[in-house]
Chain A
């Protein structure tokens, strides 16, 4: 069975809290206690000896930037832990402290087992060296011993399908080959705790999917994964728990859906968000509390089995089960299908025209006829409800991703019917 279905089932269990409860029983493998980090940003930078000597008394004035403030958390073995926040929120500083790159001003971090950080794809790659030498060097850089890095070499090259180019210098590699090599190094890393920073940002959608598959495998193998990202769909799809950081403070720790919601709340200013909605209504804000929880979301085949991919031209059978998290006055549910990491392709809205109470279940099921071309897509769901003050509370949830299979050679996202014909008029020869 594919990872997508596994994910959905794991998510279903997650929603029931069973997996999470069991997870929190496991031994702690990463323990962070009261981490503080302040950066001193010089207002007038003295970076030459000349200045230091000619004006020895000149005091450099600093602006203090509190990057992290009293951050504490435990991560359990086998957990997929998300750290989310906007740019400049302090999440990358936290990652760098965990990776022993920055030193915290205060606080301690303790780790059980070997921690392998992946802050960037192919860091330390030297274009003047062969793939072979680069892989060995990178392995040692990521914390392997020289011997085990050499032992793992063939496996990595095989995984990347670049064995025949092993002795080619990296400068002669295409960028695609380079990414494949870097990715294989990461995929074959054997740290007990893997620290991953938005490596997914590079590459295309299929590459991102490949990364996620590897993470999923690592998770299944009992590895602990810490993922720092601002991609909420990844967090919602994979993480057991997530932490939201804002301005150096830990704003939330727990349910990834809640963390994502908090993130959206911080991140989108209501004005610009309204514009991206169909039938945009005024006074729309991101919900302050959860509207609904996702219980299950599945793409099904005609027999009712979960699918991760469908044939081009086949309808999408969707089944979504939500649980209201509060009393919702005539909620509206919008289902959108977007390209993975791309724009919304289509969407439709269902107005429930009834009041739903906390704990009630809402099931949305049915068939979507579509003309999507082969590619990777995400189904997401917006749950909105009127609030007393005449504004709409909006909550974004990611439901599932699926692939569309097929090859027509057509460009774009959707297929269309056309009766355009090509006519050729020959230039007559005597002219």
Chain B
């Protein structure tokens, strides 16, 4: 028996390889993708199958906001009546911005709330903020179905430009991921970021053409709003999906050059996100 306790014929484990160390994608891309899928799906199922109202409840949120804003802006301020298909435009915008806001707000505390896996397993750090985006994206998919039903019901006819919508959506997802990475990486260091981000994303809500189309805004303010990369994105999405006659972001800006700062901010945010996350990821477990 004693000889059986000692192994005979050991398997060949191959050469020694340096361990990956803590990193954004620790353990390889495939593993990160699998974990992203599992976590995103888990969180999504938690929302939809574990509450009594499930899907209806998560849909109720944008619909209720939509209802309130619709009343305010068509009955009280009346700007809505001057804009073509205002109700569906409002719903469409709220659903899209809701995705950005939900994903980034959940991302802020995400690494801290996944503390146990971060501190006790070799967990690809990047998966955590991206999973909040992934979950919100699944949510967005379901909300968009409802939004498109409304869009058709309100008499907007489908055009070929609908095919361009996915491209703008990808741009929105990319910037959402970038912001999610930044806030999640900085939160363990700066714990007041949760409050700051809540305020900042509310400011963004008003500084993005969601409640109003950008062409109704006075010129000087328009230039400021165009610094916000989301402004151009939302304008383009409006033009592709709801109102093909609406001016493009370039037309509103009066030329490509005016849009350059916004493009620079967009690209800069993405680069900063990658840089800060790569810098913070290896030491994040120690900061918790």
Q: A48 and B191 in contact (CB under 8 A), knowing A112-B15, A129-B42, A221-B7?
A: yes
Partner of A78, one of B1, B7, B34, B50: B7
B52: Cβ under 8 A from any A Cβ:
no
A88: Cβ under 8 A from any B Cβ:
no
Instruction: Encode A71-111 as 1/0 by CB contact (under 8 A) with B.
Output: 00000011000000000000000001011111100001111
Task: Contacts A9-B5, A137-B38 known; list 8 others, CB within 8 Å.
Answer: A5-B1, A10-B6, A49-B193, A113-B14, A124-B121, A128-B50, A140-B34, A220-B6
7 A-B interface contacts by CB (under 8 A): A48-B190, A50-B192, A77-B10, A78-B10, A100-B26, A103-B22, A124-B121
Q: How far is the CB of A156 from chain B (nearest CB, A)?
A: 16
Q: Which of chain B's residues has its CB closest to A149's CB?
A: B34
B189: Cβ under 8 A from any A Cβ:
yes
Please name all residues of chain B whose beta carbon is closer than 8 Å to the beta carbon of A19 when the two chains form the complex: 6
Please name all residues of chain A whose beta carbon is closer than 8 Å to the beta carbon of B120 when the two chains form the complex: 101, 117, 119-120, 123-124
Q: How large is the interface on A (under 10, 10 to 19, 20 to 34, 35 or more residues)?
A: 35 or more
Please name all residues of chain B whose beta carbon is closer than 8 Å to the beta carbon of A370 when the two chains form the complex: none
Please name all residues of chain A whose beta carbon is closer than 8 Å to the beta carbon of B92 when the two chains form the complex: none
Q: Which of B80-88, B152-160, B263-271, B280-288 participates in binding chain A?
A: B280-288
A226: Cβ under 8 A from any B Cβ:
no
A219: Cβ under 8 A from any B Cβ:
yes
Tell me the B108-131 residues at the A interface (CB within 8 Å).
Answer: 116-123
Q: A31 and B21 in contact (CB under 8 A), knowing A78-B6, A143-B31?
A: no
In the bound complex, what is the Cα–Cα distance between A216 and B190 (angstroms)?
46
Q: A6 and B2 in contact (CB under 8 A), knowing A99-B122, A101-B119?
A: yes
Q: How far is the CB of B179 from chain A (nearest CB, A)?
A: 16
Q: Which of chain B's residues has its CB closest to A5's CB?
A: B1
Instruction: Encode B15-37 as 1/0 by CB contact (under 8 A) with A.
Output: 11111111000110011001101
Tell me the A384-427 residues at the B interface (CB within 8 Å).
Answer: none
Q: How far is the CB of B145 from chain A (nearest CB, A)?
A: 25
Q: A100 and B22 in contact (CB under 8 A), knowing A49-B196, A119-B120, A124-B116?
A: yes
Q: Which of chain A's residues has its CB closest to B26's CB?
A: A100
The number of residues on chain B lying at the interface, defined by a beta carbon within 8 Å of a beta carbon of chain A, is 49
Partner of B19, one of A28, A98, A129, A221: A98
Please name all residues of chain A whose beta carbon is closer than 8 Å to the beta carbon of B189 when the two chains form the complex: 47
Please name all residues of chain A whose beta carbon is closer than 8 Å to the beta carbon of B283 when the two chains form the complex: 103
Please name all residues of chain A whose beta carbon is closer than 8 Å to the beta carbon of B118 when the two chains form the complex: 101
Instruction: Encode A7-45 as 1/0 by CB contact (under 8 A) with B.
Output: 101100100000100100011110100000001000000
In the bound complex, what is the Cα–Cα distance between A29 and B22 (angstroms)?
20
Tell me the A133-152 residues at the B interface (CB within 8 Å).
Answer: 133, 136-137, 140-143, 145-146
Q: A192 and B285 in contact (CB under 8 A), knowing A109-B19, A146-B38, A220-B4?
A: no
Q: How far is the CB of A16 from chain B (nearest CB, A)?
A: 12
Please name all residues of chain A whose beta carbon is closer than 8 Å to the beta carbon of B196 when the two chains form the complex: 49
Cβ-defined contact, A112 with B14, below 8 A: yes
Partner of B13, one of A109, A112, A141: A112
Cβ-defined contact, B122 with A101, below 8 A: yes
Cβ-defined contact, A192 with B17, below 8 A: no
Q: How far is the CB of B163 from chain A (nearest CB, A)?
A: 33
Q: How far is the CB of B124 from chain A (nearest CB, A)?
A: 10
Q: A220 and B285 in contact (CB under 8 A), knowing A48-B191, A100-B122, A111-B19?
A: no
Please name all residues of chain A whose beta carbon is closer than 8 Å to the beta carbon of B18 when the two chains form the complex: 108-110
Instruction: Encode A182-225 as 1/0 by CB contact (under 8 A) with B.
Output: 00000000001000000000000000000000001001111000
Cβ-defined contact, B286 with A140, below 8 A: no
Q: Which of chain A's residues has its CB closest to B49's CB?
A: A128
A126: Cβ under 8 A from any B Cβ:
yes
Cβ-defined contact, B27 with A143, below 8 A: yes
